[in-house]
Chains A and B, each alone.
Chain A
Amino acid sequence: MLVIPSASYSFERLTPEFGSNYAPNLAKTEAGLWMEFSDHENQLKNSPVRINDIDLDGYLKEVLCKLALEYCEDVRVYVIRNPYFNASMAPNGMMQVHTGFLLRVENEAQLASVLGHEIGHFLKRHSIKSMEDTNTKSSFFAFLSLGVVGAVASGNMNADFGRSTLDLSNLILTGSIFSYSRDNEREADKYGIQLLNDAKLDINAAKEIWVNLIEEKKAASEDITAGSYFYATHPDPGERINNLESHAIALNRTSQTSIIKNKETYWEKISPILPIALKDELNLRQFEQTEYLFKKLLNNNVSLGLIHFYLGELYRLKEIEEEEHLIKEHYNKATEYEDYPAEVHRSLGLIDYKARNYPEAKGHFNKYLNMKPDAHDKEMIEFYINTGA
Protein backbone atom coordinates (compact mmCIF):
# COMPACT_ATOMS: atom_id res chain seq x y z
CA MET A 1 0.00 0.00 0.00
CA LEU A 2 3.01 2.31 0.51
CA VAL A 3 3.51 4.51 -2.51
CA ILE A 4 7.05 4.55 -3.82
CA PRO A 5 7.42 7.71 -5.86
CA SER A 6 9.12 6.98 -9.12
CA ALA A 7 9.32 8.63 -12.50
CA SER A 8 7.23 5.93 -14.08
CA TYR A 9 4.60 5.61 -11.33
CA SER A 10 1.20 5.31 -12.93
CA PHE A 11 -2.01 6.00 -11.08
CA GLU A 12 -4.20 2.92 -10.80
CA ARG A 13 -7.78 3.97 -10.17
CA LEU A 14 -9.57 2.75 -7.05
CA THR A 15 -13.13 1.39 -7.27
CA PRO A 16 -15.94 1.19 -4.71
CA GLU A 17 -16.59 -2.01 -2.78
CA PHE A 18 -20.36 -1.82 -3.16
CA GLY A 19 -23.04 -0.30 -5.40
CA SER A 20 -24.97 2.90 -4.77
CA ASN A 21 -28.15 2.98 -2.64
CA TYR A 22 -26.49 0.28 -0.60
CA ALA A 23 -28.05 -1.33 2.45
CA PRO A 24 -26.19 -4.15 4.17
CA ASN A 25 -27.58 -7.65 4.52
CA LEU A 26 -29.39 -7.69 7.88
CA ALA A 27 -27.76 -10.94 8.93
CA LYS A 28 -24.25 -9.52 8.73
CA THR A 29 -22.33 -7.69 11.42
CA GLU A 30 -22.11 -4.72 9.04
CA ALA A 31 -25.87 -4.23 9.50
CA GLY A 32 -25.36 -4.17 13.25
CA LEU A 33 -22.78 -1.40 12.87
CA TRP A 34 -25.14 0.57 10.61
CA MET A 35 -27.88 0.16 13.20
CA GLU A 36 -25.66 1.57 15.99
CA PHE A 37 -24.53 4.48 13.84
CA SER A 38 -28.04 5.27 12.64
CA ASP A 39 -29.02 5.63 16.26
CA HIS A 40 -26.00 7.84 16.89
CA GLU A 41 -26.81 9.89 13.79
CA ASN A 42 -30.36 10.44 15.00
CA GLN A 43 -29.03 11.83 18.26
CA LEU A 44 -26.40 13.94 16.51
CA LYS A 45 -28.93 15.47 14.12
CA ASN A 46 -30.98 16.80 17.01
CA SER A 47 -28.07 17.69 19.25
CA PRO A 48 -27.08 21.25 20.22
CA VAL A 49 -23.51 20.46 19.17
CA ARG A 50 -24.65 20.30 15.58
CA ILE A 51 -24.73 23.56 13.62
CA ASN A 52 -27.94 23.61 11.64
CA ASP A 53 -27.43 26.24 8.93
CA ILE A 54 -29.52 25.34 5.89
CA ASP A 55 -27.39 27.25 3.38
CA LEU A 56 -24.11 25.85 4.68
CA ASP A 57 -25.51 22.32 4.79
CA GLY A 58 -26.77 22.79 1.23
CA TYR A 59 -23.35 23.94 0.03
CA LEU A 60 -21.53 21.06 1.71
CA LYS A 61 -24.00 18.61 0.20
CA GLU A 62 -23.38 20.17 -3.21
CA VAL A 63 -19.60 19.70 -2.94
CA LEU A 64 -20.14 16.21 -1.54
CA CYS A 65 -22.27 15.23 -4.52
CA LYS A 66 -19.73 16.67 -6.99
CA LEU A 67 -17.32 14.11 -5.53
CA ALA A 68 -19.55 11.17 -4.66
CA LEU A 69 -21.59 11.24 -7.92
CA GLU A 70 -23.95 8.25 -7.88
CA TYR A 71 -23.23 7.75 -4.16
CA CYS A 72 -24.56 11.21 -3.38
CA GLU A 73 -27.64 9.89 -1.56
CA ASP A 74 -25.60 7.36 0.43
CA VAL A 75 -23.73 10.00 2.43
CA ARG A 76 -24.83 12.83 4.69
CA VAL A 77 -22.64 15.58 6.14
CA TYR A 78 -23.10 17.35 9.50
CA VAL A 79 -21.29 20.41 10.81
CA ILE A 80 -20.22 19.93 14.41
CA ARG A 81 -19.27 22.73 16.74
CA ASN A 82 -15.72 21.73 17.75
CA PRO A 83 -12.57 23.83 17.50
CA TYR A 84 -10.22 20.99 16.57
CA PHE A 85 -9.18 20.20 13.03
CA ASN A 86 -11.03 17.00 12.26
CA ALA A 87 -13.48 15.33 9.90
CA SER A 88 -14.73 11.77 10.18
CA MET A 89 -16.82 9.17 8.35
CA ALA A 90 -18.96 6.49 9.95
CA PRO A 91 -19.62 3.12 8.25
CA ASN A 92 -23.24 4.09 7.48
CA GLY A 93 -22.30 7.17 5.44
CA MET A 94 -22.60 9.77 8.18
CA MET A 95 -19.85 12.37 7.81
CA GLN A 96 -18.96 14.93 10.47
CA VAL A 97 -16.87 18.07 9.82
CA HIS A 98 -15.72 20.22 12.72
CA THR A 99 -15.93 24.01 12.70
CA GLY A 100 -12.20 23.99 13.51
CA PHE A 101 -11.63 22.15 10.26
CA LEU A 102 -13.77 24.56 8.18
CA LEU A 103 -11.82 27.46 9.65
CA ARG A 104 -8.49 26.04 8.44
CA VAL A 105 -9.56 25.14 4.92
CA GLU A 106 -8.61 27.86 2.42
CA ASN A 107 -10.91 27.09 -0.51
CA GLU A 108 -13.43 24.66 -1.96
CA ALA A 109 -10.72 22.47 -3.49
CA GLN A 110 -9.13 21.86 -0.10
CA LEU A 111 -12.55 21.16 1.42
CA ALA A 112 -13.24 18.71 -1.38
CA SER A 113 -9.92 16.91 -0.87
CA VAL A 114 -10.84 16.07 2.73
CA LEU A 115 -14.47 15.22 1.91
CA GLY A 116 -13.09 12.99 -0.85
CA HIS A 117 -10.75 11.30 1.63
CA GLU A 118 -13.69 10.52 3.92
CA ILE A 119 -15.79 9.25 1.00
CA GLY A 120 -12.83 7.00 0.17
CA HIS A 121 -13.05 5.43 3.64
CA PHE A 122 -16.74 4.84 3.08
CA LEU A 123 -16.49 3.37 -0.43
CA LYS A 124 -13.71 1.02 0.66
CA ARG A 125 -15.59 -0.04 3.81
CA HIS A 126 -12.56 0.73 5.97
CA SER A 127 -14.43 0.96 9.29
CA ILE A 128 -15.96 -2.44 8.83
CA LYS A 129 -12.74 -4.02 7.60
CA SER A 130 -10.89 -2.44 10.54
CA MET A 131 -13.35 -3.86 13.00
CA GLU A 132 -13.18 -7.30 11.44
CA ASP A 133 -9.39 -7.11 11.41
CA THR A 134 -9.26 -6.10 15.08
CA ASN A 135 -11.73 -8.80 16.07
CA THR A 136 -9.87 -11.49 14.14
CA LYS A 137 -6.60 -10.45 15.72
CA SER A 138 -8.12 -10.25 19.22
CA SER A 139 -9.70 -13.67 18.84
CA PHE A 140 -6.40 -15.03 17.60
CA PHE A 141 -4.72 -13.50 20.62
CA ALA A 142 -7.31 -15.02 22.97
CA PHE A 143 -6.56 -18.48 21.67
CA LEU A 144 -2.83 -17.79 21.64
CA SER A 145 -2.99 -16.71 25.31
CA LEU A 146 -4.82 -19.89 26.15
CA GLY A 147 -2.20 -21.93 24.34
CA VAL A 148 0.57 -20.24 26.27
CA VAL A 149 -1.31 -20.61 29.57
CA GLY A 150 -1.82 -24.29 28.79
CA ALA A 151 1.85 -24.77 27.95
CA VAL A 152 2.97 -23.09 31.16
CA ALA A 153 0.41 -24.95 33.28
CA SER A 154 1.46 -28.31 31.88
CA GLY A 155 5.10 -27.54 32.62
CA ASN A 156 6.18 -27.36 28.98
CA MET A 157 7.02 -23.69 29.10
CA ASN A 158 8.73 -21.51 31.67
CA ALA A 159 6.32 -19.04 33.30
CA ASP A 160 8.49 -15.96 32.65
CA PHE A 161 9.00 -16.97 29.05
CA GLY A 162 5.27 -17.46 28.72
CA ARG A 163 4.59 -14.00 30.09
CA SER A 164 7.10 -12.30 27.82
CA THR A 165 5.75 -14.26 24.83
CA LEU A 166 2.31 -12.89 25.59
CA ASP A 167 3.64 -9.36 26.04
CA LEU A 168 5.50 -9.53 22.74
CA SER A 169 2.53 -11.06 20.91
CA ASN A 170 0.26 -8.38 22.32
CA LEU A 171 2.69 -5.70 21.19
CA ILE A 172 2.97 -7.16 17.69
CA LEU A 173 -0.79 -7.46 17.53
CA THR A 174 -1.36 -3.90 18.64
CA GLY A 175 1.25 -2.68 16.17
CA SER A 176 -0.46 -4.67 13.44
CA ILE A 177 -3.84 -3.12 14.23
CA PHE A 178 -2.45 0.42 14.03
CA SER A 179 -0.49 -0.36 10.89
CA TYR A 180 -3.71 -1.56 9.27
CA SER A 181 -5.25 1.76 10.18
CA ARG A 182 -2.38 3.69 8.55
CA ASP A 183 -2.70 1.64 5.37
CA ASN A 184 -6.38 2.51 5.26
CA GLU A 185 -5.48 6.18 5.60
CA ARG A 186 -3.07 5.93 2.67
CA GLU A 187 -5.78 4.34 0.55
CA ALA A 188 -8.27 7.03 1.54
CA ASP A 189 -5.76 9.75 0.60
CA LYS A 190 -5.39 8.15 -2.82
CA TYR A 191 -9.15 7.77 -3.34
CA GLY A 192 -9.67 11.35 -2.20
CA ILE A 193 -7.31 12.82 -4.75
CA GLN A 194 -8.83 10.62 -7.45
CA LEU A 195 -12.31 11.99 -6.68
CA LEU A 196 -10.92 15.53 -6.46
CA ASN A 197 -9.43 15.23 -9.92
CA ASP A 198 -12.61 13.70 -11.36
CA ALA A 199 -14.55 16.67 -9.96
CA LYS A 200 -12.18 19.02 -11.83
CA LEU A 201 -10.89 20.84 -8.76
CA ASP A 202 -7.34 21.94 -7.99
CA ILE A 203 -5.36 18.78 -7.54
CA ASN A 204 -2.66 20.46 -5.44
CA ALA A 205 -5.20 21.28 -2.76
CA ALA A 206 -4.85 17.80 -1.29
CA LYS A 207 -1.31 18.29 -0.01
CA GLU A 208 -1.82 21.98 0.87
CA ILE A 209 -3.92 21.06 3.89
CA TRP A 210 -1.04 19.12 5.42
CA VAL A 211 1.57 21.71 4.52
CA ASN A 212 -0.58 24.33 6.26
CA LEU A 213 -1.10 22.15 9.31
CA ILE A 214 2.63 21.57 9.72
CA GLU A 215 3.26 25.31 9.41
CA GLU A 216 0.57 26.12 11.97
CA LYS A 217 1.97 23.67 14.49
CA LYS A 218 5.48 25.07 13.87
CA ALA A 219 4.18 28.47 14.92
CA ALA A 220 3.23 26.86 18.21
CA SER A 221 6.71 25.30 18.41
CA GLU A 222 5.33 21.83 17.79
CA ASP A 223 6.92 19.53 15.25
CA ILE A 224 4.26 17.11 14.12
CA THR A 225 6.56 15.30 11.70
CA ALA A 226 8.69 13.95 14.53
CA GLY A 227 7.62 11.49 17.17
CA SER A 228 6.79 7.83 17.41
CA TYR A 229 4.43 6.38 14.89
CA PHE A 230 3.80 3.05 16.62
CA TYR A 231 0.44 4.08 17.97
CA ALA A 232 -0.32 6.47 15.11
CA THR A 233 -3.60 5.89 13.36
CA HIS A 234 -2.51 8.13 10.50
CA PRO A 235 0.75 8.21 8.56
CA ASP A 236 3.27 10.97 9.20
CA PRO A 237 2.10 14.24 7.54
CA GLY A 238 5.44 14.53 5.69
CA GLU A 239 4.84 11.13 4.12
CA ARG A 240 1.27 12.09 3.23
CA ILE A 241 2.50 15.23 1.44
CA ASN A 242 5.05 13.21 -0.56
CA ASN A 243 2.48 10.59 -1.54
CA LEU A 244 -0.11 13.17 -2.53
CA GLU A 245 2.47 14.96 -4.67
CA SER A 246 3.33 11.70 -6.41
CA HIS A 247 -0.35 11.01 -7.03
CA ALA A 248 -0.80 14.52 -8.43
CA ILE A 249 2.15 14.14 -10.80
CA ALA A 250 0.90 10.75 -11.97
CA LEU A 251 -2.62 12.05 -12.55
CA ASN A 252 -1.24 15.04 -14.42
CA ARG A 253 0.39 12.72 -16.91
CA THR A 254 -2.78 10.92 -17.86
CA SER A 255 -5.53 13.53 -17.65
CA GLN A 256 -6.20 17.21 -17.82
CA THR A 257 -5.89 18.37 -14.22
CA SER A 258 -7.54 21.52 -12.95
CA ILE A 259 -6.48 24.48 -10.85
CA ILE A 260 -9.98 25.56 -9.91
CA LYS A 261 -10.12 26.52 -6.22
CA ASN A 262 -13.47 28.37 -5.83
CA LYS A 263 -12.07 30.42 -2.97
CA GLU A 264 -14.67 33.22 -2.98
CA THR A 265 -17.59 30.77 -3.02
CA TYR A 266 -16.14 28.86 -0.10
CA TRP A 267 -15.69 31.91 2.14
CA GLU A 268 -19.09 33.29 1.24
CA LYS A 269 -20.75 30.03 2.34
CA ILE A 270 -18.61 29.56 5.46
CA SER A 271 -19.21 33.09 6.82
CA PRO A 272 -22.23 32.18 9.04
CA ILE A 273 -20.09 29.94 11.25
CA LEU A 274 -17.10 32.28 11.46
CA PRO A 275 -18.15 34.13 14.64
CA ILE A 276 -18.61 30.87 16.57
CA ALA A 277 -15.53 29.22 15.08
CA LEU A 278 -13.26 32.18 15.86
CA LYS A 279 -14.61 32.47 19.39
CA ASP A 280 -14.16 28.75 20.08
CA GLU A 281 -10.63 28.81 18.64
CA LEU A 282 -9.69 31.71 20.91
CA ASN A 283 -11.19 29.88 23.88
CA LEU A 284 -8.62 27.12 23.45
CA ARG A 285 -6.09 29.62 24.83
CA GLN A 286 -3.38 28.32 22.48
CA PHE A 287 -2.29 31.82 21.63
CA GLU A 288 0.66 31.20 19.27
CA GLN A 289 -1.31 28.80 17.14
CA THR A 290 -4.39 31.03 17.13
CA GLU A 291 -2.39 34.15 16.30
CA TYR A 292 -0.85 32.40 13.30
CA LEU A 293 -4.27 31.20 12.15
CA PHE A 294 -6.08 34.53 12.59
CA LYS A 295 -3.31 36.41 10.72
CA LYS A 296 -3.51 33.87 7.91
CA LEU A 297 -7.27 34.38 7.73
CA LEU A 298 -6.73 38.08 7.00
CA ASN A 299 -5.28 37.06 3.64
CA ASN A 300 -8.66 35.79 2.48
CA ASN A 301 -10.02 39.34 2.41
CA VAL A 302 -13.35 38.32 3.88
CA SER A 303 -15.00 39.13 7.20
CA LEU A 304 -12.07 41.43 8.00
CA GLY A 305 -14.04 43.39 10.59
CA LEU A 306 -14.72 40.18 12.50
CA ILE A 307 -11.15 38.88 12.26
CA HIS A 308 -9.56 42.16 13.38
CA PHE A 309 -11.94 42.17 16.36
CA TYR A 310 -10.82 38.68 17.37
CA LEU A 311 -7.16 39.62 16.90
CA GLY A 312 -7.80 42.47 19.32
CA GLU A 313 -9.39 40.00 21.74
CA LEU A 314 -6.38 37.70 21.34
CA TYR A 315 -3.89 40.39 22.37
CA ARG A 316 -6.17 41.50 25.18
CA LEU A 317 -6.16 37.96 26.60
CA LYS A 318 -2.44 37.43 26.06
CA GLU A 319 -1.69 40.29 28.47
CA ILE A 320 1.82 40.91 27.14
CA GLU A 321 2.95 44.48 27.76
CA GLU A 322 4.91 44.83 24.51
CA GLU A 323 1.83 43.85 22.55
CA GLU A 324 -0.65 46.07 24.41
CA HIS A 325 -0.81 48.65 21.65
CA LEU A 326 -1.96 45.92 19.26
CA ILE A 327 -5.24 45.53 21.15
CA LYS A 328 -6.64 48.96 20.28
CA GLU A 329 -4.92 48.90 16.91
CA HIS A 330 -6.93 45.87 15.81
CA TYR A 331 -10.20 47.02 17.36
CA ASN A 332 -9.88 50.36 15.55
CA LYS A 333 -8.90 48.66 12.33
CA ALA A 334 -12.02 46.49 12.61
CA THR A 335 -14.27 49.57 12.52
CA GLU A 336 -13.01 50.36 9.01
CA TYR A 337 -14.98 47.39 7.69
CA GLU A 338 -18.71 47.09 7.23
CA ASP A 339 -19.08 43.75 8.97
CA TYR A 340 -17.38 44.68 12.25
CA PRO A 341 -19.22 43.29 15.31
CA ALA A 342 -20.81 45.52 17.96
CA GLU A 343 -18.56 43.90 20.56
CA VAL A 344 -15.64 46.03 19.31
CA HIS A 345 -17.25 49.02 21.02
CA ARG A 346 -17.91 47.05 24.17
CA SER A 347 -14.25 46.00 24.38
CA LEU A 348 -13.01 49.57 23.64
CA GLY A 349 -15.49 50.87 26.20
CA LEU A 350 -14.19 48.51 28.86
CA ILE A 351 -10.56 49.49 28.15
CA ASP A 352 -11.50 53.19 28.51
CA TYR A 353 -13.57 52.46 31.62
CA LYS A 354 -10.63 50.69 33.29
CA ALA A 355 -8.37 53.64 32.39
CA ARG A 356 -11.05 55.95 33.87
CA ASN A 357 -11.71 57.70 30.55
CA TYR A 358 -15.42 57.74 31.35
CA PRO A 359 -16.66 60.04 28.56
CA GLU A 360 -14.96 57.91 25.90
CA ALA A 361 -16.18 54.74 27.63
CA LYS A 362 -19.78 56.01 27.60
CA GLY A 363 -19.45 56.86 23.93
CA HIS A 364 -18.37 53.35 23.08
CA PHE A 365 -20.95 51.64 25.31
CA ASN A 366 -23.73 53.67 23.72
CA LYS A 367 -22.51 52.76 20.26
CA TYR A 368 -22.49 49.09 21.35
CA LEU A 369 -26.11 49.26 22.52
CA ASN A 370 -27.16 51.15 19.41
CA MET A 371 -25.69 48.45 17.20
CA LYS A 372 -27.05 45.66 19.36
CA PRO A 373 -30.23 46.79 21.14
CA ASP A 374 -31.08 43.27 22.30
CA ALA A 375 -27.64 42.43 23.68
CA HIS A 376 -27.82 39.82 26.43
CA ASP A 377 -25.59 41.96 28.66
CA LYS A 378 -27.61 45.13 28.07
CA GLU A 379 -28.33 45.76 31.74
CA MET A 380 -24.67 45.35 32.68
CA ILE A 381 -23.50 47.84 30.04
CA GLU A 382 -26.24 50.30 31.05
CA PHE A 383 -24.94 50.02 34.60
CA TYR A 384 -21.46 50.95 33.37
CA ILE A 385 -22.92 53.90 31.42
CA ASN A 386 -24.77 55.20 34.48
CA THR A 387 -21.92 54.80 36.97
CA GLY A 388 -18.44 56.24 36.58
CA ALA A 389 -17.68 59.91 37.07
Chain B
Amino acid sequence: MNNIKNIFFIFLVAVIASGCATTRSFSSVDSLNQSYTKNISTIAVMPPDVTLSILTAGGALEPQAEWSIAALNNIDSSLVVIDNKRESDFVEYLRPDESDPIYKTIVEHEQLHRAVGQAILFNKLQYPLPTKKNIFDWTLGDGTKAIKDFTGADYALFIHVNDSYSSGGRVVLQLAAALLGVGVNGGQQAGFASLIDLSNGNVVWFNYLQRGVGDLRTETPALITVELLLDSLPD
Protein backbone atom coordinates (compact mmCIF):
# COMPACT_ATOMS: atom_id res chain seq x y z
CA MET B 1 0.00 0.00 0.00
CA ASN B 2 2.78 2.33 0.99
CA ASN B 3 4.72 1.58 -2.17
CA ILE B 4 1.80 2.41 -4.39
CA LYS B 5 1.22 5.59 -2.45
CA ASN B 6 4.87 6.56 -2.88
CA ILE B 7 4.83 5.86 -6.58
CA PHE B 8 1.64 7.84 -6.98
CA PHE B 9 3.12 10.72 -5.01
CA ILE B 10 6.26 10.73 -7.14
CA PHE B 11 4.15 10.60 -10.28
CA LEU B 12 2.06 13.53 -9.04
CA VAL B 13 5.13 15.57 -8.27
CA ALA B 14 6.54 14.81 -11.71
CA VAL B 15 3.32 15.95 -13.37
CA ILE B 16 3.20 19.15 -11.35
CA ALA B 17 6.88 19.80 -11.88
CA SER B 18 6.48 19.54 -15.62
CA GLY B 19 3.85 22.23 -15.25
CA CYS B 20 1.23 20.26 -17.10
CA ALA B 21 2.78 21.35 -20.35
CA THR B 22 2.37 19.92 -23.81
CA THR B 23 4.58 20.69 -26.74
CA ARG B 24 4.35 19.66 -30.36
CA SER B 25 7.24 20.34 -32.65
CA PHE B 26 8.22 19.86 -36.27
CA SER B 27 11.62 20.19 -37.79
CA SER B 28 13.07 19.75 -41.23
CA VAL B 29 16.69 19.98 -40.17
CA ASP B 30 18.62 18.05 -37.51
CA SER B 31 21.28 20.62 -36.97
CA LEU B 32 21.88 24.14 -38.14
CA ASN B 33 25.59 23.80 -38.72
CA GLN B 34 25.63 20.96 -41.16
CA SER B 35 24.29 22.69 -44.26
CA TYR B 36 26.45 25.80 -44.08
CA THR B 37 30.12 26.35 -44.43
CA LYS B 38 30.33 28.78 -41.55
CA ASN B 39 31.38 27.31 -38.20
CA ILE B 40 28.58 28.71 -36.17
CA SER B 41 25.16 29.70 -37.49
CA THR B 42 23.68 32.94 -36.31
CA ILE B 43 20.06 33.41 -35.36
CA ALA B 44 18.46 36.86 -35.27
CA VAL B 45 15.87 36.93 -32.52
CA MET B 46 12.87 38.98 -33.73
CA PRO B 47 11.06 41.03 -31.07
CA PRO B 48 8.87 38.46 -29.25
CA ASP B 49 5.17 39.02 -29.65
CA VAL B 50 3.87 38.71 -26.08
CA THR B 51 0.40 39.54 -24.81
CA LEU B 52 -0.73 38.91 -21.25
CA SER B 53 -4.40 39.38 -20.50
CA ILE B 54 -6.78 39.20 -17.63
CA LEU B 55 -9.70 36.82 -18.03
CA THR B 56 -12.84 38.40 -16.60
CA ALA B 57 -15.77 36.58 -15.04
CA GLY B 58 -17.80 37.33 -18.17
CA GLY B 59 -15.19 35.59 -20.29
CA ALA B 60 -13.59 38.64 -21.89
CA LEU B 61 -9.83 38.89 -22.33
CA GLU B 62 -8.50 42.31 -21.38
CA PRO B 63 -4.87 42.79 -22.43
CA GLN B 64 -2.62 44.24 -19.71
CA ALA B 65 0.26 46.47 -20.78
CA GLU B 66 2.27 46.29 -17.56
CA TRP B 67 2.13 42.48 -17.42
CA SER B 68 3.01 42.15 -21.10
CA ILE B 69 6.06 44.39 -20.69
CA ALA B 70 7.18 42.41 -17.61
CA ALA B 71 6.75 39.14 -19.46
CA LEU B 72 8.66 40.48 -22.46
CA ASN B 73 11.57 41.48 -20.23
CA ASN B 74 11.60 38.06 -18.58
CA ILE B 75 11.50 36.31 -21.94
CA ASP B 76 14.37 38.48 -23.19
CA SER B 77 16.55 37.60 -20.19
CA SER B 78 15.59 33.92 -20.54
CA LEU B 79 16.77 34.03 -24.15
CA VAL B 80 20.17 35.28 -22.97
CA VAL B 81 20.44 32.34 -20.55
CA ILE B 82 19.52 29.86 -23.26
CA ASP B 83 21.89 31.47 -25.77
CA ASN B 84 24.80 30.74 -23.46
CA LYS B 85 23.94 27.04 -23.45
CA ARG B 86 23.69 26.73 -27.22
CA GLU B 87 26.18 26.22 -30.04
CA SER B 88 24.70 28.54 -32.61
CA ASP B 89 24.58 32.18 -31.62
CA PHE B 90 21.64 34.39 -30.99
CA VAL B 91 22.40 37.68 -32.68
CA GLU B 92 21.21 40.87 -31.12
CA TYR B 93 18.75 42.47 -33.44
CA LEU B 94 18.01 46.17 -33.22
CA ARG B 95 14.72 47.29 -34.75
CA PRO B 96 15.42 49.84 -37.48
CA ASP B 97 14.14 53.37 -37.43
CA GLU B 98 10.63 53.86 -38.80
CA SER B 99 11.96 56.03 -41.61
CA ASP B 100 14.23 53.23 -42.82
CA PRO B 101 12.62 51.39 -45.78
CA ILE B 102 13.49 48.01 -44.24
CA TYR B 103 11.20 48.83 -41.32
CA LYS B 104 8.11 48.15 -43.42
CA THR B 105 9.49 44.79 -44.59
CA ILE B 106 10.21 43.72 -41.04
CA VAL B 107 6.79 44.74 -39.72
CA GLU B 108 5.15 42.89 -42.61
CA HIS B 109 7.13 39.73 -41.90
CA GLU B 110 6.31 39.82 -38.21
CA GLN B 111 2.63 39.94 -39.17
CA LEU B 112 3.17 37.23 -41.74
CA HIS B 113 4.72 34.98 -39.15
CA ARG B 114 1.65 35.38 -36.96
CA ALA B 115 -0.55 34.34 -39.87
CA VAL B 116 1.70 31.43 -40.94
CA GLY B 117 2.03 30.23 -37.35
CA GLN B 118 -1.76 30.17 -36.97
CA ALA B 119 -2.03 28.33 -40.31
CA ILE B 120 0.43 25.69 -39.11
CA LEU B 121 -1.44 25.28 -35.83
CA PHE B 122 -4.74 24.95 -37.61
CA ASN B 123 -3.76 22.84 -40.61
CA LYS B 124 -1.13 20.62 -39.04
CA LEU B 125 -2.11 20.30 -35.42
CA GLN B 126 -5.78 20.99 -34.95
CA TYR B 127 -7.35 19.74 -38.19
CA PRO B 128 -4.47 18.02 -39.98
CA LEU B 129 -4.77 18.25 -43.73
CA PRO B 130 -4.18 15.00 -45.60
CA THR B 131 -1.79 16.73 -47.99
CA LYS B 132 0.32 18.02 -45.10
CA LYS B 133 0.61 14.72 -43.25
CA ASN B 134 4.25 13.91 -43.93
CA ILE B 135 5.27 17.25 -45.29
CA PHE B 136 6.33 20.37 -43.48
CA ASP B 137 6.81 22.97 -46.18
CA TRP B 138 5.57 26.29 -44.84
CA THR B 139 7.50 29.39 -45.80
CA LEU B 140 7.48 33.17 -45.32
CA GLY B 141 8.69 33.63 -48.87
CA ASP B 142 12.01 35.00 -50.09
CA GLY B 143 11.24 38.53 -48.94
CA THR B 144 13.25 37.43 -45.91
CA LYS B 145 16.45 37.92 -47.91
CA ALA B 146 16.14 41.63 -47.15
CA ILE B 147 16.05 40.78 -43.44
CA LYS B 148 19.10 38.57 -43.89
CA ASP B 149 21.01 41.49 -45.41
CA PHE B 150 19.88 43.83 -42.68
CA THR B 151 20.62 41.61 -39.65
CA GLY B 152 23.54 39.66 -41.12
CA ALA B 153 22.11 36.47 -39.62
CA ASP B 154 21.45 33.06 -41.22
CA TYR B 155 18.18 32.39 -39.42
CA ALA B 156 15.48 34.29 -37.63
CA LEU B 157 13.64 33.15 -34.53
CA PHE B 158 10.06 34.36 -34.16
CA ILE B 159 8.30 33.91 -30.84
CA HIS B 160 4.62 34.46 -30.12
CA VAL B 161 3.14 33.99 -26.64
CA ASN B 162 -0.34 34.61 -25.28
CA ASP B 163 -1.21 34.13 -21.64
CA SER B 164 -4.20 34.94 -19.52
CA TYR B 165 -4.84 35.00 -15.80
CA SER B 166 -8.20 34.79 -14.09
CA SER B 167 -9.45 37.95 -12.44
CA GLY B 168 -10.56 37.87 -8.83
CA GLY B 169 -14.16 37.77 -9.98
CA ARG B 170 -13.46 34.87 -12.29
CA VAL B 171 -11.80 32.86 -9.55
CA VAL B 172 -14.92 33.35 -7.43
CA LEU B 173 -17.01 32.21 -10.36
CA GLN B 174 -14.79 29.16 -10.87
CA LEU B 175 -15.19 28.15 -7.22
CA ALA B 176 -18.96 28.77 -7.17
CA ALA B 177 -19.39 26.86 -10.42
CA ALA B 178 -17.26 23.98 -9.16
CA LEU B 179 -19.61 23.64 -6.19
CA LEU B 180 -22.45 23.19 -8.64
CA GLY B 181 -20.47 20.70 -10.66
CA VAL B 182 -19.98 23.09 -13.57
CA GLY B 183 -16.51 23.56 -15.03
CA VAL B 184 -15.39 27.09 -15.78
CA ASN B 185 -11.93 27.42 -17.31
CA GLY B 186 -9.17 29.68 -16.04
CA GLY B 187 -6.43 31.44 -17.94
CA GLN B 188 -4.45 29.57 -20.58
CA GLN B 189 -0.88 29.93 -21.75
CA ALA B 190 -0.09 29.13 -25.35
CA GLY B 191 2.81 30.01 -27.57
CA PHE B 192 4.57 29.09 -30.74
CA ALA B 193 8.01 29.69 -32.13
CA SER B 194 9.45 29.29 -35.61
CA LEU B 195 12.95 29.21 -36.97
CA ILE B 196 13.14 30.75 -40.43
CA ASP B 197 15.94 30.18 -42.91
CA LEU B 198 16.49 33.75 -44.03
CA SER B 199 17.92 32.81 -47.42
CA ASN B 200 14.58 31.47 -48.62
CA GLY B 201 12.03 32.18 -45.86
CA ASN B 202 11.37 28.49 -45.15
CA VAL B 203 10.11 27.48 -41.74
CA VAL B 204 12.73 24.89 -40.78
CA TRP B 205 11.53 24.38 -37.22
CA PHE B 206 8.27 25.05 -35.43
CA ASN B 207 7.15 24.39 -31.88
CA TYR B 208 3.85 24.86 -30.12
CA LEU B 209 3.54 25.02 -26.35
CA GLN B 210 0.53 24.89 -24.13
CA ARG B 211 0.82 25.28 -20.39
CA GLY B 212 -1.70 25.39 -17.60
CA VAL B 213 0.58 27.04 -15.06
CA GLY B 214 3.51 29.43 -15.11
CA ASP B 215 3.32 33.10 -14.26
CA LEU B 216 5.30 34.89 -16.97
CA ARG B 217 5.44 38.02 -14.88
CA THR B 218 8.09 36.34 -12.75
CA GLU B 219 11.53 35.23 -13.90
CA THR B 220 11.73 31.53 -13.13
CA PRO B 221 8.44 30.39 -14.69
CA ALA B 222 9.24 32.57 -17.71
CA LEU B 223 12.56 30.76 -18.10
CA ILE B 224 10.80 27.39 -17.92
CA THR B 225 8.32 28.48 -20.58
CA VAL B 226 11.05 29.68 -22.92
CA GLU B 227 13.11 26.52 -22.31
CA LEU B 228 10.09 24.35 -23.08
CA LEU B 229 9.34 26.43 -26.14
CA LEU B 230 12.89 26.22 -27.49
CA ASP B 231 13.63 22.72 -26.18
CA SER B 232 13.73 20.99 -29.54
CA LEU B 233 15.42 23.87 -31.38
CA PRO B 234 18.24 22.40 -33.45
CA ASP B 235 21.70 23.42 -32.38
Contacts and interface: CB of A to CB of B under 8 A. Distances in A.
A137 B180 CA distance: 22
Contact size range, A: 20 to 34
Contacts of A140: 58
A149 B60 contact: no
Given A26-B65, A33-B63, A153-B180, A43 B58 contact: no
A26 B107 contact: no
Nearest to B172: A143
Contacts of A34: 65
Interface string A133-153: 011111111110010011001
B176 interface: yes
A131 B53 CA distance: 14
A149 B180 contact: yes
A42 B103 CA distance: 10
B66 A142 contact: no
Nearest to B60: A135
Contact size range, B: 20 to 34
B202 interface: no
B66 A27 contact: yes
Given A31-B66, A32-B65, A139 B180 contact: no
B66 A26 contact: yes
Contact of A146 (B51, B53, B176): B176
- Chain A contact residues: helix, strand, loop or mixed: helix
A36 interface: yes
Interface of B: 51, 53-54, 56-60, 62-66, 68-69, 103-104, 107-108, 111, 169, 173, 176-177, 180-182
30 contacts: A26-B65, A29-B54, A29-B64, A31-B65, A32-B62, A32-B63, A32-B64, A33-B62, A33-B63, A34-B65, A35-B51, A35-B65, A35-B68, A36-B51, A42-B107, A43-B111, A46-B104, A131-B62, A135-B56, A135-B58, A136-B58, A138-B58, A139-B57, A142-B59, A143-B57, A143-B176, A146-B173, A146-B177, A153-B180, A153-B181
